Amino acid sequence: MTMHPSVTASPASVSLYDARPFFEKALQFGVQNGIIGRARLDAICADAPKGMVQIARYFGNEFLRPDIEKARDRIVNLVSLYLQSSCGGDLRKAAESLRDHSFLSRSKGGSDLLKALLALPESSSFHGRLDDGGAEPNGPPKGLAEWSLKSFADYQAELARRRPLQQQKDAAIWLADGLGMDAEELEEAHTHAEAVIRTALLAMATQRTEMPDWVEFEKMVAALRKKYRAARARAAAQAGKTVKTASAGARSLSLSLTLPLAIPGNLPEEFRDVVQAVLQSVLADLPQILESPLTARALFANDSEDQHPPLLGRYFWVEDIASEIEHHERAVSLAWDKATGGNCDDGSLLTLMVCVAAGAAPKTLLTEKAATALVRKIQKPGARNGFQPELARQYILDHAPAEHQEAYLQLWTDFVDEAQSTLQSDSSFALKDALALLRRECHVAA
């Protein structure tokens, strides 16, 4: 690496230098314009070999010629990067920087710029410590070896790409914190910033104080749809039209009345542009959220192999398996209680199961007339499927609380083993015997 460009360089040689690293152009400019003197040139020449050895040791082996040659390229590139970044491409300012500061300090400045770049996220995802892999404990940060040889244009492009990603993540962390969820929990959730921001905006607009889990997210969507239908009906009525023929203006008004989305008033200024952009995407999603015939699960969650949910991955909810199981069990229990009327004695359950197996409406109590009609349906000549025990078995599996299914299945199996031949008998006393069986085992009102 030549450190003494000629002070009397011709225009042709200057043109040659223009294709070289920014450091060399700044150095030549400084020498030609009397900014950099002999003493400073000597200092640079003394510092450069030391820096090259340090860099070769840091990235490889200072005793290997290829590593030393790469170190020469790296140190020139690092100094160029720092000078071009800090001086805005101004050769005079760059030359003055070389005059006023040591060569190694400019090299370290370039290295610090790259480390700061690599510390910025490569995506808006929260993914724990996955990016920490690949770097030695005491070695250079992952990617520094590659980036120390890249151009200033590459650095600027990557910086422009990564900075907004950092802002998105910081904004997501700020909003999530207001809903009781910290950065570490977001990392563990393996989500991405835009999804967190969208859900946070919806949650805050619906007066929620915590980041929703799936159960709460589903309730939030259901409440919004109910509010939207009511708002649209009012808007249509005010326009003197039916809901079906409501104008686009009424529809738009209904959307805004249903969910007056806005940026939080106390949002830090540096996050406003980022959150505003995501807010627009939520507004674009509102027609699907509020008007889609799909259920919330079919719209947002990846539960179907046959259909790709339209809004899959765009919104975030806390994965709380225990809460979802509890909610499912509670829903199953409520549905079962509704079907059985809260009656779980053997007689009520067998009455219900006999109705299901016979293809009749599930009931836990039969009148004498209804019982007679049920038996006649079962025993109707030529009716092969008048009594199908498997239907009742499947009904138990589909609707009964999981903790009781085994006992209910055993009760039903024992009943079928004993009663099926009587219920489906074609003897002259078949109706009388079957009714007597139902009165004994099930609930038949006198």
Percentage of residues in the chain having pLDDT higher than 90: 62
Neighbours of 113 (CB within 10 A): 18
For the stretch 41-62, pLDDT in tens is: 999 999 999 999 999 999 999 9
- The mean pLDDT value for 143-160 works out to 95
Continuous segment of H or E residues that includes residue 284: helix 272-291
Q: Which residue has the higher pLDDT, 362 or 241?
A: 362
Q: Name the most confidently modeled range: 83-87, 215-219, 379-383.
A: 83-87
Give the mean pLDDT of the chain. 86
Q: Is the pLDDT of residue 324 over 70?
A: no
Q: How confident is the model at residue 404 (pLDDT cuts 50, 70, 90)?
A: confident
Q: How confident is the model at residue 431 (pLDDT cuts 50, 70, 90)?
A: very high
Diameter over CA atoms, the chain: 128
For the stretch 192-246, pLDDT in tens is: 999 999 999 999 988 899 999 988 899 999 988 988 888 888 777 776 654 444 4
Q: Which residue has the higher pLDDT, 317 or 8?
A: 317
Report the alpha-carbon distance of residue 417 to residue 423 in Å, rounded: 11
CA separation (Å) from 87 to 15, 196, 409?
21, 38, 81
Q: Is the pLDDT of residue 321 over 50?
A: yes
Q: How confident is the model at residue 322 (pLDDT cuts 50, 70, 90)?
A: low
Q: Which two tokens stand for residue 369?
A: 């007339």
- The mean pLDDT value for 177-182 works out to 94
User: Strand locations in 300-413, DSSP E?
Assistant: 366-367
State residue 11's pLDDT score.
43
Contact 281, 194 (CB under 8 A): yes
- The mean pLDDT value for 183-189 works out to 92
CA separation (Å) from 226 to 211, 252, 267, 279, 290?
21, 16, 29, 22, 9
For the stretch 299-314, pLDDT in tens is: 998 765 546 889 999 9
State residue 14's pLDDT score.
44
Q: Is the pLDDT of residue 85 over 90?
A: yes
Angle CA(300)–CA(301)–CA(306) in degrees, nearest 5? 105
Say which range, 103-107, 228-232, 281-285, 421-425, has the weakest mean pLDDT.
228-232
Residues 309-344: b if buried by 16+ CB within 10 A, e if exposed: bebeebbbbbeeeeeeeebeeeeeeeebeebbeeee
State residue 161's pLDDT score.
96
- The mean pLDDT value for 19-39 works out to 93
pTM: predicted TM-score of the whole model, two decimal places: 0.66
Nearest to 83 by CA among 119, 47, 52, 107: 107
Say which range, 16-30, 103-117, 278-292, has the weakest mean pLDDT.
16-30
State residue 237's pLDDT score.
76
Residues 249-280: b if buried by 16+ CB within 10 A, e if exposed: ebbebbbeebbebeebeebeeebeebbeebbe
Place of tokens 């509704």: 338
